Amino acid sequence: MHEFTKFYIDGQWVDPETPRTLEVINPATEDACGIISIGSAADVDKAVAAARKAFETYGYSSREERIAVLEACIASYQKRYDDMAAAISEEMGAPKTLAVQAQAALGIGHLTEALKVLKDFEFEEDLGAHRVFKEPIGVCGLITPWNWPVNQIGCKVAPALAVGCTMILKPSEVAPLSAYIWTEIMHDAGVPAGVFNLVNGDGPGVGTALSSHPDVDMMSFTGSTRAGTLVAQNAAPTVKRVAQELGGKSPNIILDDADLEAAVTRGVLHMYQNTGQSCNAPSRMLIPRAKLEQAEEIAKGVTAGVVVGDPQDEATTMGPVVSELQFNKIQGLIEKGIEEGAKLVVGGPGRPEGIDKGYFIRPTVFSNVTNEMTIAREEIFGPVLAMIPYDTEEEALRIANDTPYGLAGYVQSGDIEHARKVASRIRAGNVHINGATGGFDVPFGGFKQSGNGREWGAHGFTDFLEIKAVEGYAA
Protein backbone atom coordinates (compact mmCIF):
# COMPACT_ATOMS: atom_id res chain seq x y z
CA MET A 1 0.00 0.00 0.00
CA HIS A 2 1.49 3.31 -1.12
CA GLU A 3 0.88 6.26 1.18
CA PHE A 4 1.27 9.52 -0.71
CA THR A 5 -0.60 11.92 1.54
CA LYS A 6 1.64 14.97 1.23
CA PHE A 7 1.80 17.59 -1.51
CA TYR A 8 4.98 18.99 -3.02
CA ILE A 9 5.08 22.78 -2.69
CA ASP A 10 8.08 25.12 -2.83
CA GLY A 11 10.55 22.24 -2.86
CA GLN A 12 9.12 20.50 0.21
CA TRP A 13 6.64 17.75 1.03
CA VAL A 14 3.84 19.39 3.01
CA ASP A 15 0.58 18.31 4.60
CA PRO A 16 -2.70 19.43 3.01
CA GLU A 17 -4.46 22.38 4.60
CA THR A 18 -7.51 20.22 5.30
CA PRO A 19 -6.98 16.45 5.76
CA ARG A 20 -9.01 14.38 3.30
CA THR A 21 -7.93 11.14 1.68
CA LEU A 22 -8.86 8.90 -1.22
CA GLU A 23 -7.99 5.28 -1.94
CA VAL A 24 -6.30 4.42 -5.22
CA ILE A 25 -7.77 1.22 -6.68
CA ASN A 26 -5.80 -1.35 -8.64
CA PRO A 27 -8.18 -2.06 -11.55
CA ALA A 28 -6.91 -5.61 -12.04
CA THR A 29 -7.77 -6.68 -8.49
CA GLU A 30 -10.33 -4.06 -7.36
CA ASP A 31 -8.27 -3.71 -4.17
CA ALA A 32 -6.78 -0.51 -2.79
CA CYS A 33 -3.11 -0.11 -3.74
CA GLY A 34 -2.54 3.37 -2.39
CA ILE A 35 -3.92 6.33 -0.52
CA ILE A 36 -3.56 10.00 -1.45
CA SER A 37 -4.71 13.33 -0.07
CA ILE A 38 -7.34 15.38 -1.86
CA GLY A 39 -6.47 19.06 -1.93
CA SER A 40 -8.49 22.25 -1.78
CA ALA A 41 -8.34 25.85 -2.96
CA ALA A 42 -6.14 26.67 0.03
CA ASP A 43 -3.51 24.17 -1.16
CA VAL A 44 -3.70 25.63 -4.66
CA ASP A 45 -3.15 29.13 -3.24
CA LYS A 46 0.05 27.97 -1.51
CA ALA A 47 1.35 26.24 -4.62
CA VAL A 48 0.56 29.17 -6.91
CA ALA A 49 2.29 31.58 -4.50
CA ALA A 50 5.39 29.37 -4.54
CA ALA A 51 5.36 29.16 -8.33
CA ARG A 52 4.84 32.93 -8.68
CA LYS A 53 7.80 33.63 -6.40
CA ALA A 54 10.01 31.10 -8.21
CA PHE A 55 9.17 32.65 -11.58
CA GLU A 56 10.88 35.86 -10.50
CA THR A 57 14.19 34.03 -10.89
CA TYR A 58 13.54 30.93 -13.03
CA GLY A 59 11.66 33.00 -15.60
CA TYR A 60 14.90 34.90 -16.24
CA SER A 61 17.26 31.94 -16.05
CA SER A 62 19.71 31.33 -18.87
CA ARG A 63 19.42 28.67 -21.53
CA GLU A 64 22.46 26.97 -19.99
CA GLU A 65 20.83 26.85 -16.56
CA ARG A 66 17.68 25.24 -17.97
CA ILE A 67 19.73 22.76 -20.00
CA ALA A 68 21.37 21.69 -16.73
CA VAL A 69 17.95 21.26 -15.10
CA LEU A 70 16.71 19.02 -17.91
CA GLU A 71 19.91 16.97 -17.95
CA ALA A 72 19.55 16.39 -14.21
CA CYS A 73 15.90 15.37 -14.64
CA ILE A 74 16.83 12.84 -17.33
CA ALA A 75 19.54 11.31 -15.14
CA SER A 76 17.14 11.17 -12.19
CA TYR A 77 14.40 9.57 -14.32
CA GLN A 78 16.75 6.85 -15.55
CA LYS A 79 17.35 5.80 -11.94
CA ARG A 80 13.61 5.48 -11.31
CA TYR A 81 12.56 4.02 -14.66
CA ASP A 82 11.51 0.64 -13.29
CA ASP A 83 9.62 2.27 -10.41
CA MET A 84 7.72 4.43 -12.88
CA ALA A 85 6.73 1.46 -15.04
CA ALA A 86 5.59 -0.51 -11.99
CA ALA A 87 3.50 2.39 -10.69
CA ILE A 88 1.74 2.86 -14.04
CA SER A 89 0.94 -0.84 -14.31
CA GLU A 90 -0.44 -0.91 -10.78
CA GLU A 91 -2.52 2.26 -10.91
CA MET A 92 -4.17 1.93 -14.33
CA GLY A 93 -3.70 -1.69 -15.35
CA ALA A 94 -1.27 -1.40 -18.24
CA PRO A 95 0.33 -4.78 -19.04
CA LYS A 96 3.87 -4.94 -17.70
CA THR A 97 5.42 -5.01 -21.17
CA LEU A 98 3.41 -1.95 -22.29
CA ALA A 99 4.26 -0.09 -19.10
CA VAL A 100 7.98 -0.74 -19.52
CA GLN A 101 8.34 -0.38 -23.28
CA ALA A 102 5.87 2.43 -23.99
CA GLN A 103 4.24 4.12 -21.01
CA ALA A 104 7.37 4.80 -18.92
CA ALA A 105 9.46 5.41 -22.03
CA LEU A 106 7.30 8.36 -23.03
CA GLY A 107 8.17 10.31 -19.89
CA ILE A 108 11.91 10.25 -20.44
CA GLY A 109 11.35 10.69 -24.18
CA HIS A 110 9.68 14.08 -23.68
CA LEU A 111 12.45 15.25 -21.36
CA THR A 112 15.09 14.19 -23.88
CA GLU A 113 13.29 15.87 -26.78
CA ALA A 114 12.79 19.10 -24.82
CA LEU A 115 16.51 19.17 -24.05
CA LYS A 116 17.33 18.68 -27.73
CA VAL A 117 14.95 21.45 -28.83
CA LEU A 118 16.10 23.86 -26.12
CA LYS A 119 19.72 23.72 -27.23
CA ASP A 120 18.91 25.32 -30.61
CA PHE A 121 15.57 27.08 -30.02
CA GLU A 122 15.41 30.67 -31.28
CA PHE A 123 14.05 32.83 -28.47
CA GLU A 124 14.84 36.07 -30.37
CA GLU A 125 14.23 37.31 -33.90
CA ASP A 126 15.23 40.59 -35.56
CA LEU A 127 12.83 42.42 -37.86
CA GLY A 128 14.86 45.32 -39.18
CA ALA A 129 15.53 47.66 -36.26
CA HIS A 130 13.12 45.77 -34.03
CA ARG A 131 13.52 42.61 -32.01
CA VAL A 132 10.89 39.97 -31.18
CA PHE A 133 11.38 37.99 -28.00
CA LYS A 134 9.75 34.69 -27.03
CA GLU A 135 9.43 34.76 -23.25
CA PRO A 136 8.00 32.23 -20.75
CA ILE A 137 4.32 32.87 -20.16
CA GLY A 138 4.66 32.54 -16.37
CA VAL A 139 2.88 30.30 -13.87
CA CYS A 140 1.20 27.31 -15.51
CA GLY A 141 -1.51 24.99 -14.23
CA LEU A 142 -1.16 21.47 -15.62
CA ILE A 143 -4.04 18.97 -15.41
CA THR A 144 -3.29 15.46 -16.67
CA PRO A 145 -5.33 12.26 -17.22
CA TRP A 146 -5.00 8.65 -16.17
CA ASN A 147 -4.75 6.79 -19.48
CA TRP A 148 -1.14 7.61 -20.48
CA PRO A 149 -0.29 9.30 -17.19
CA VAL A 150 3.43 10.04 -17.43
CA ASN A 151 3.23 10.79 -21.15
CA GLN A 152 0.90 13.69 -20.45
CA ILE A 153 2.93 14.87 -17.48
CA GLY A 154 6.11 14.75 -19.55
CA CYS A 155 4.80 16.55 -22.61
CA LYS A 156 3.67 19.46 -20.40
CA VAL A 157 6.35 19.67 -17.71
CA ALA A 158 9.33 19.21 -20.06
CA PRO A 159 8.64 22.19 -22.37
CA ALA A 160 7.51 24.35 -19.44
CA LEU A 161 10.82 23.71 -17.67
CA ALA A 162 12.73 24.25 -20.92
CA VAL A 163 11.37 27.73 -21.63
CA GLY A 164 11.46 29.02 -18.04
CA CYS A 165 7.91 28.60 -16.74
CA THR A 166 6.95 27.52 -13.24
CA MET A 167 4.06 25.16 -12.66
CA ILE A 168 1.51 23.35 -10.52
CA LEU A 169 0.62 19.80 -11.56
CA LYS A 170 -2.74 18.23 -10.75
CA PRO A 171 -2.63 14.64 -11.98
CA SER A 172 -5.69 12.44 -12.21
CA GLU A 173 -6.78 11.27 -8.78
CA VAL A 174 -7.65 7.91 -10.39
CA ALA A 175 -4.03 7.12 -11.29
CA PRO A 176 -1.76 9.41 -9.23
CA LEU A 177 1.07 7.06 -8.24
CA SER A 178 3.21 7.80 -11.30
CA ALA A 179 2.88 11.52 -10.63
CA TYR A 180 4.43 11.01 -7.20
CA ILE A 181 7.32 9.09 -8.73
CA TRP A 182 7.70 11.95 -11.23
CA THR A 183 7.74 14.49 -8.41
CA GLU A 184 10.41 12.55 -6.54
CA ILE A 185 12.41 12.55 -9.79
CA MET A 186 12.09 16.34 -10.03
CA HIS A 187 13.10 16.77 -6.39
CA ASP A 188 16.10 14.45 -6.66
CA ALA A 189 17.18 16.28 -9.83
CA GLY A 190 17.39 19.52 -7.88
CA VAL A 191 14.72 21.43 -9.79
CA PRO A 192 14.70 24.83 -8.01
CA ALA A 193 12.15 25.21 -5.22
CA GLY A 194 8.79 26.45 -6.41
CA VAL A 195 9.42 25.75 -10.09
CA PHE A 196 7.55 22.43 -9.98
CA ASN A 197 4.71 21.86 -7.51
CA LEU A 198 2.23 18.98 -7.05
CA VAL A 199 -1.24 19.24 -5.57
CA ASN A 200 -3.50 16.22 -5.78
CA GLY A 201 -7.25 16.49 -5.94
CA ASP A 202 -10.40 16.28 -7.99
CA GLY A 203 -11.72 18.61 -10.67
CA PRO A 204 -14.22 20.58 -8.57
CA GLY A 205 -11.81 21.07 -5.66
CA VAL A 206 -8.38 21.59 -7.23
CA GLY A 207 -8.99 21.81 -10.97
CA THR A 208 -11.47 24.67 -10.64
CA ALA A 209 -9.29 26.54 -8.13
CA LEU A 210 -6.29 26.21 -10.43
CA SER A 211 -8.00 27.18 -13.69
CA SER A 212 -9.74 30.20 -12.14
CA HIS A 213 -6.76 31.44 -10.11
CA PRO A 214 -5.82 35.04 -11.01
CA ASP A 215 -2.09 34.35 -10.55
CA VAL A 216 -2.06 31.42 -12.99
CA ASP A 217 -1.10 32.64 -16.48
CA MET A 218 -1.84 29.54 -18.51
CA MET A 219 -3.70 26.24 -18.23
CA SER A 220 -2.69 23.09 -20.08
CA PHE A 221 -5.37 20.41 -19.85
CA THR A 222 -5.67 16.89 -21.20
CA GLY A 223 -8.89 14.94 -20.67
CA SER A 224 -12.47 14.72 -21.80
CA THR A 225 -14.07 17.42 -23.92
CA ARG A 226 -16.70 17.91 -21.21
CA ALA A 227 -14.08 18.62 -18.55
CA GLY A 228 -12.04 20.73 -20.96
CA THR A 229 -14.95 23.09 -21.55
CA LEU A 230 -15.23 23.59 -17.79
CA VAL A 231 -11.54 24.46 -17.54
CA ALA A 232 -11.96 27.02 -20.34
CA GLN A 233 -15.04 28.52 -18.68
CA ASN A 234 -13.25 28.83 -15.34
CA ALA A 235 -10.23 30.40 -17.03
CA ALA A 236 -12.21 32.91 -19.09
CA PRO A 237 -12.74 35.63 -16.43
CA THR A 238 -8.97 36.04 -16.00
CA VAL A 239 -8.32 35.77 -19.78
CA LYS A 240 -5.58 33.20 -19.28
CA ARG A 241 -4.38 31.05 -22.13
CA VAL A 242 -5.90 27.56 -22.25
CA ALA A 243 -4.30 24.73 -24.23
CA GLN A 244 -6.42 21.60 -24.51
CA GLU A 245 -5.97 18.05 -25.77
CA LEU A 246 -9.39 16.46 -25.55
CA GLY A 247 -11.44 13.57 -26.89
CA GLY A 248 -11.52 11.78 -30.22
CA LYS A 249 -13.49 9.40 -32.40
CA SER A 250 -10.89 8.84 -35.05
CA PRO A 251 -11.66 7.36 -38.49
CA ASN A 252 -9.50 4.66 -40.04
CA ILE A 253 -10.20 4.68 -43.79
CA ILE A 254 -9.22 1.43 -45.46
CA LEU A 255 -9.18 2.23 -49.17
CA ASP A 256 -10.07 -0.28 -51.85
CA ASP A 257 -6.43 -0.59 -52.95
CA ALA A 258 -5.13 -1.39 -49.46
CA ASP A 259 -3.75 -4.75 -48.33
CA LEU A 260 -6.93 -5.65 -46.45
CA GLU A 261 -5.47 -8.23 -44.09
CA ALA A 262 -2.55 -6.01 -43.06
CA ALA A 263 -4.75 -2.92 -42.73
CA VAL A 264 -7.49 -4.56 -40.66
CA THR A 265 -4.96 -6.40 -38.48
CA ARG A 266 -3.09 -3.17 -37.79
CA GLY A 267 -6.29 -1.27 -37.03
CA VAL A 268 -7.70 -3.88 -34.67
CA LEU A 269 -4.47 -4.27 -32.73
CA HIS A 270 -4.12 -0.50 -32.42
CA MET A 271 -7.67 -0.31 -31.11
CA TYR A 272 -6.87 -2.82 -28.37
CA GLN A 273 -3.58 -1.17 -27.34
CA ASN A 274 -3.81 0.26 -23.82
CA THR A 275 -7.23 -1.44 -23.62
CA GLY A 276 -8.62 1.14 -26.04
CA GLN A 277 -7.94 3.94 -23.57
CA SER A 278 -6.32 6.35 -26.02
CA CYS A 279 -7.85 9.58 -27.24
CA ASN A 280 -6.44 8.98 -30.74
CA ALA A 281 -7.58 5.34 -31.00
CA PRO A 282 -8.77 4.38 -34.53
CA SER A 283 -12.23 3.53 -33.22
CA ARG A 284 -14.18 3.88 -36.50
CA MET A 285 -12.90 1.53 -39.22
CA LEU A 286 -14.31 2.50 -42.64
CA ILE A 287 -14.29 -0.43 -45.08
CA PRO A 288 -15.44 -0.85 -48.71
CA ARG A 289 -18.84 -2.56 -48.48
CA ALA A 290 -17.83 -5.40 -50.79
CA LYS A 291 -14.97 -6.31 -48.45
CA LEU A 292 -16.86 -6.01 -45.16
CA GLU A 293 -17.42 -9.72 -44.53
CA GLN A 294 -13.77 -10.50 -45.25
CA ALA A 295 -12.72 -7.71 -42.88
CA GLU A 296 -14.99 -9.13 -40.17
CA GLU A 297 -13.27 -12.50 -40.39
CA ILE A 298 -9.84 -10.91 -40.18
CA ALA A 299 -10.90 -8.89 -37.12
CA LYS A 300 -12.33 -11.99 -35.48
CA GLY A 301 -9.04 -13.85 -36.00
CA VAL A 302 -6.95 -10.99 -34.63
CA THR A 303 -9.16 -10.71 -31.57
CA ALA A 304 -8.79 -14.42 -30.86
CA GLY A 305 -5.07 -13.81 -30.35
CA VAL A 306 -5.53 -11.11 -27.71
CA VAL A 307 -4.62 -12.29 -24.22
CA VAL A 308 -6.66 -10.50 -21.56
CA GLY A 309 -5.52 -10.93 -17.97
CA ASP A 310 -3.20 -10.03 -15.12
CA PRO A 311 -1.04 -7.04 -16.15
CA GLN A 312 1.93 -8.61 -14.35
CA ASP A 313 1.79 -11.73 -16.53
CA GLU A 314 4.30 -11.48 -19.39
CA ALA A 315 1.80 -13.21 -21.71
CA THR A 316 -0.91 -10.59 -21.18
CA THR A 317 -1.46 -8.24 -24.10
CA MET A 318 -4.52 -6.40 -22.75
CA GLY A 319 -5.22 -5.42 -19.16
CA PRO A 320 -8.33 -3.98 -17.48
CA VAL A 321 -9.86 -0.56 -17.97
CA VAL A 322 -8.98 1.91 -15.27
CA SER A 323 -12.02 1.96 -12.98
CA GLU A 324 -15.45 0.64 -12.14
CA LEU A 325 -16.93 3.85 -13.56
CA GLN A 326 -15.26 3.25 -16.92
CA PHE A 327 -16.16 -0.45 -16.84
CA ASN A 328 -19.84 0.33 -16.36
CA LYS A 329 -19.82 3.05 -19.03
CA ILE A 330 -18.25 0.73 -21.61
CA GLN A 331 -20.60 -2.13 -20.76
CA GLY A 332 -23.53 0.24 -21.28
CA LEU A 333 -22.24 1.34 -24.68
CA ILE A 334 -21.70 -2.26 -25.81
CA GLU A 335 -25.30 -2.98 -24.85
CA LYS A 336 -26.34 0.16 -26.74
CA GLY A 337 -24.59 -1.06 -29.89
CA ILE A 338 -26.53 -4.32 -29.75
CA GLU A 339 -29.78 -2.48 -29.01
CA GLU A 340 -29.33 -0.12 -31.98
CA GLY A 341 -28.82 -3.00 -34.40
CA ALA A 342 -25.09 -3.18 -35.01
CA LYS A 343 -23.75 -6.64 -35.87
CA LEU A 344 -21.69 -8.11 -33.02
CA VAL A 345 -18.72 -9.79 -34.69
CA VAL A 346 -16.82 -10.77 -31.55
CA GLY A 347 -16.82 -9.92 -27.86
CA GLY A 348 -19.85 -8.34 -26.23
CA PRO A 349 -21.06 -7.57 -22.72
CA GLY A 350 -19.52 -8.97 -19.55
CA ARG A 351 -16.01 -9.95 -18.51
CA PRO A 352 -13.87 -12.32 -20.60
CA GLU A 353 -14.39 -16.00 -19.93
CA GLY A 354 -12.63 -17.22 -16.80
CA ILE A 355 -12.27 -13.75 -15.24
CA ASP A 356 -14.64 -12.84 -12.41
CA LYS A 357 -12.78 -9.92 -10.78
CA GLY A 358 -11.21 -6.75 -12.05
CA TYR A 359 -12.42 -4.23 -14.62
CA PHE A 360 -11.74 -6.43 -17.62
CA ILE A 361 -13.62 -5.91 -20.91
CA ARG A 362 -14.11 -8.42 -23.69
CA PRO A 363 -12.33 -7.07 -26.80
CA THR A 364 -15.29 -6.25 -29.01
CA VAL A 365 -15.90 -5.61 -32.71
CA PHE A 366 -19.16 -4.37 -34.17
CA SER A 367 -19.92 -4.35 -37.90
CA ASN A 368 -22.61 -2.85 -40.12
CA VAL A 369 -22.41 0.23 -37.94
CA THR A 370 -23.90 3.45 -39.26
CA ASN A 371 -22.31 6.74 -38.33
CA GLU A 372 -25.51 7.80 -36.58
CA MET A 373 -25.30 5.00 -33.99
CA THR A 374 -24.22 5.85 -30.46
CA ILE A 375 -21.12 3.65 -30.71
CA ALA A 376 -20.00 5.68 -33.75
CA ARG A 377 -20.64 9.06 -32.12
CA GLU A 378 -19.47 8.72 -28.52
CA GLU A 379 -15.91 8.20 -27.37
CA ILE A 380 -16.14 4.77 -25.72
CA PHE A 381 -12.55 4.76 -24.38
CA GLY A 382 -12.40 0.99 -24.29
CA PRO A 383 -11.52 -1.94 -26.61
CA VAL A 384 -14.61 -1.55 -28.79
CA LEU A 385 -14.24 -1.14 -32.58
CA ALA A 386 -17.01 0.04 -34.94
CA MET A 387 -16.71 -1.18 -38.54
CA ILE A 388 -18.59 1.11 -40.93
CA PRO A 389 -19.13 0.13 -44.59
CA TYR A 390 -18.94 2.68 -47.39
CA ASP A 391 -19.70 2.60 -51.12
CA THR A 392 -17.59 5.45 -52.50
CA GLU A 393 -14.46 7.28 -51.43
CA GLU A 394 -16.42 10.53 -51.16
CA GLU A 395 -18.82 8.82 -48.78
CA ALA A 396 -15.91 7.52 -46.71
CA LEU A 397 -14.52 11.03 -46.34
CA ARG A 398 -17.93 12.43 -45.45
CA ILE A 399 -18.35 9.80 -42.73
CA ALA A 400 -14.77 10.32 -41.51
CA ASN A 401 -15.32 14.05 -41.00
CA ASP A 402 -18.87 13.68 -39.64
CA THR A 403 -17.84 13.93 -36.00
CA PRO A 404 -17.44 16.76 -33.50
CA TYR A 405 -13.90 15.52 -32.91
CA GLY A 406 -10.74 15.92 -34.96
CA LEU A 407 -7.79 14.48 -33.08
CA ALA A 408 -6.51 11.78 -35.42
CA GLY A 409 -7.20 10.03 -38.69
CA TYR A 410 -5.80 6.95 -40.38
CA VAL A 411 -5.51 6.04 -44.07
CA GLN A 412 -4.58 2.62 -45.47
CA SER A 413 -3.68 2.34 -49.15
CA GLY A 414 -1.35 0.51 -51.51
CA ASP A 415 -0.69 3.75 -53.38
CA ILE A 416 1.11 6.49 -51.45
CA GLU A 417 -0.18 9.28 -53.69
CA HIS A 418 -3.72 8.02 -53.20
CA ALA A 419 -3.19 7.91 -49.44
CA ARG A 420 -1.76 11.44 -49.40
CA LYS A 421 -4.75 12.78 -51.32
CA VAL A 422 -7.23 11.24 -48.89
CA ALA A 423 -5.17 12.27 -45.84
CA SER A 424 -5.26 15.90 -47.00
CA ARG A 425 -9.06 15.88 -46.73
CA ILE A 426 -9.34 14.46 -43.21
CA ARG A 427 -10.04 17.22 -40.69
CA ALA A 428 -7.75 16.10 -37.88
CA GLY A 429 -4.56 17.22 -36.18
CA ASN A 430 -2.66 13.97 -36.80
CA VAL A 431 -3.19 11.71 -39.81
CA HIS A 432 -1.31 8.42 -40.11
CA ILE A 433 -0.65 6.72 -43.44
CA ASN A 434 -0.31 2.92 -43.41
CA GLY A 435 0.38 2.74 -39.69
CA ALA A 436 3.16 5.34 -39.59
CA THR A 437 3.71 7.03 -36.23
CA GLY A 438 5.68 10.19 -35.51
CA GLY A 439 8.51 10.69 -33.07
CA PHE A 440 8.73 13.07 -30.14
CA ASP A 441 9.40 15.94 -32.54
CA VAL A 442 6.03 15.65 -34.33
CA PRO A 443 3.26 17.98 -33.04
CA PHE A 444 0.28 16.34 -31.35
CA GLY A 445 -3.17 17.91 -30.99
CA GLY A 446 -6.58 18.21 -32.56
CA PHE A 447 -9.12 20.13 -34.60
CA LYS A 448 -12.67 21.02 -33.54
CA GLN A 449 -13.76 19.67 -30.14
CA SER A 450 -10.53 17.68 -29.81
CA GLY A 451 -8.87 20.81 -28.48
CA ASN A 452 -6.45 23.55 -29.42
CA GLY A 453 -2.72 24.10 -29.27
CA ARG A 454 -0.05 21.49 -29.92
CA GLU A 455 2.21 19.38 -27.73
CA TRP A 456 5.45 17.43 -28.39
CA GLY A 457 8.74 18.78 -29.73
CA ALA A 458 9.38 22.36 -30.77
CA HIS A 459 5.69 22.93 -31.41
CA GLY A 460 5.08 22.04 -27.77
CA PHE A 461 7.12 25.07 -26.66
CA THR A 462 4.72 27.51 -28.31
CA ASP A 463 1.87 27.46 -25.80
CA PHE A 464 4.27 28.18 -22.96
CA LEU A 465 5.67 31.31 -24.61
CA GLU A 466 4.54 34.92 -24.91
CA ILE A 467 5.63 37.17 -27.79
CA LYS A 468 7.17 40.54 -26.98
CA ALA A 469 8.12 43.04 -29.69
CA VAL A 470 10.69 45.67 -28.68
CA GLU A 471 10.54 48.35 -31.37
CA GLY A 472 13.59 50.43 -32.07
CA TYR A 473 15.76 47.83 -30.32
CA ALA A 474 18.70 48.41 -32.67
CA ALA A 475 18.38 52.17 -32.91
Mean pLDDT along residues 315-342: 98
- Do both 14 and 68 map to the same domain? yes
- If asked whether residues 283 and 225 sit together in one domain, one would say no
Interstrand relation of 7-9 and 31-37 (parallel, antiparallel or unpaired): unpaired
Is residue 93 situated within a structural domain?
Answer: yes
For residue 394, what pLDDT is reported? 98
405 or 475, which is more confident: 405
User: Mean pLDDT over residues 168-196, rounded?
Assistant: 98
- Mean pLDDT over 252-274 rounds to 98
390 lies in a domain? yes
Q: Which residue in 245, 296, 379, 455 is the catalytic one?
A: 245
Cβ-based neighbours of 158, under 8 Å, separated by 6 or more: 70, 73, 110, 111, 113, 114, 460
Confidence of residue 354 (pLDDT cuts 50, 70, 90): very high
Mean pLDDT over residues 233-239, rounded?
98
CA neighbor of 98 nearest in space, from 170, 142, 150, 172:
150
Statement to judge: residues 287 and 146 lie in one domain? no
Residue 127 sits in a domain of what CATH number? 3.40.605.10
Considering the domain architecture, whether residues 154 and 300 belong to the same structural domain is answered as no
pLDDT the model gives residue 16: 98
Residue 338 has pLDDT above 90, yes or no: yes
Same-domain check for residues 307 and 386: yes
Q: Is residue 275 part of a domain?
A: yes
pLDDT (tens digit per residue) in 390-437: 999 999 999 999 999 999 999 999 999 999 999 999 999 999 999 999
Q: Are residues 421 and 459 in the same domain?
A: no
Higher per-residue pLDDT: 475 or 456 = 456
Please, is 56 exposed, middle or buried when counting C-beta atoms within 10 Å of its C-beta (0-12, 13-18, 19+)? exposed
**Same domain? 103 vs 85:** yes
Report the pLDDT value the prediction gives residue 204, as an integer from 0 to 100. Answer: 95
Q: Could you confirm whether 279 is annotated as catalytic? A: yes
Q: Which of 155, 279, 296, 455 is catalytic?
A: 279
Q: What percent of the chain has pLDDT over 70?
A: 100
Q: What is the 3-state secondary structure (H, E, C) of the chain?
A: CEEECCEEECCEEECCCCCCEEEEEECCCCEEEEEEECCCHHHHHHHHHHHHHHHHHHCCCCHHHHHHHHHHHHHHHHHCHHHHHHHHHHHHCCCHHHHHHHHHHHHHHHHHHHHHHHHHCCCEEEECCEEEEEEECCEEEEECCCCCHHHHHHHHHHHHHHHCCEEEEECCCCCCHHHHHHHHHHHHCCCCCCCEEECCCCHHHHHHHHHCCCCCCEEEEECCHHHHHHHHHHHHHHCCEEEEECCCCCEEEECCCCCHHHHHHHHHHHHHHHHHCCCCCCCEEEEEHHHHHHHHHHHHHHHHCCCECCCCCCCCCECCCCCHHHHHHHHHHHHHHHHCCCEEEECCCCCCCCCCCCCCCCCEEEECCCCCCHHHHCCCCCCEEEEEEECCHHHHHHHHHCCCCCCEEEEECCCHHHHHHHHCCCCCCEEEECCCCCCCCCCECCCHHHEECCECCHHHHHHHEEEEEECCCCC
For residues 395 and 461, state if they share a domain. no
pLDDT, one tens digit per residue, over 108-164 is 999 999 999 999 999 999 999 999 999 999 999 999 999 999 999 999 999 999 999
156 & 261 share domain: no
Domain span at 259: 251-439
pLDDT, average across residues 222-246: 97
Which residues fall within 8 angstroms of residue 470, CB to CB, at 6 or more apart? 130, 131, 132, 133
pLDDT of residue 384: 98
Query: Mean pLDDT in the chain?
Result: 98
Average pLDDT value for residue range 34-43: 98
Query: How confident is the model at residue 419, as a pLDDT?
Result: 98
Answer yes or no: do 82 and 6 share one domain.
yes
d(CA 160, CA 149): 17
75 shares its domain with 130: yes
pLDDT digits (tens, 9 = 90+) for 46-75: 999 999 999 999 999 999 999 999 999 999
Does some domain include residue 444? no
Task: Please indicate, yes or no, whether residues 242 and 262 belong to a single structural domain of this protein.
Answer: no
Domains held by the chain: number: 2
Residue type, 130: H
Give the CATH number of the domain where residue 378 resides.
3.40.309.10
Q: Look at residue 475 and tell me whether its pLDDT is greater than 90.
A: no
d(CA 238, CA 215): 9
Residue 475 forms part of a structural domain: no
